[in-house]
Amino acid sequence: MSTGTIYVGGANVWWRGAKDDATDTYLTGTATVTFSVYVKNTADDDNGTVVTGADGVSMSYVASSNGNFVGNLPASASLTRDSWYWLEVTCTPSGGTPHTRRKAVQAVDRGFGP
């Protein structure tokens, strides 16, 4: 699994090109999508405790996209610079079965600009 970054001080979290496992079709605004950020347990790669301010954050469908969802990680989320976390996104397609994706992310500072 590839790794990524997550920004200290809050930022948008994206899931691009989300598809339904059962039908291989892009998800739409009828799906319920949330994300949570967990401390990465280095001993066994399991989830540690959930990060304060980053539990069950709703993600919204981006209109007219092919399965793109975005949610806002609040600036108050307790991330530690250069530490590793698990970003988990859980999706329940309309009338479907929930599924979860997990990605290792490192907390970094956002540069200047948008």
Rounded to whole angstroms, the Cα distance separating 34 from 69 reads: 9
pLDDT single digits (tens) 43-88: 787 888 999 999 999 999 999 999 999 999 999 999 999 999 999 9
Share above pLDDT 70 across residues of the chain, in percent, rounded to a whole number: 96
| Domains defined along the chain, listed by start | 3-108 (2.60.40)
Q: The pTM is what?
A: 0.86
Q: Which helix (H) or strand (E) holds 87?
A: strand 84-92
Q: What percentage of the chain exceeds 90 in pLDDT? A: 60
The answer to whether the CB of 69 falls within 8 A of the CB of 15 is yes
43: which 2 tokens? 């001993």
For strands 84-92 and 69-73, give the pairing. Answer: unpaired
**Residues 86-114: what's their mean pLDDT?**
87
Q: What dihedral angle (degrees, nearest 10) is formed by the CA atoms of 87, 40, 52, 32?
A: 20
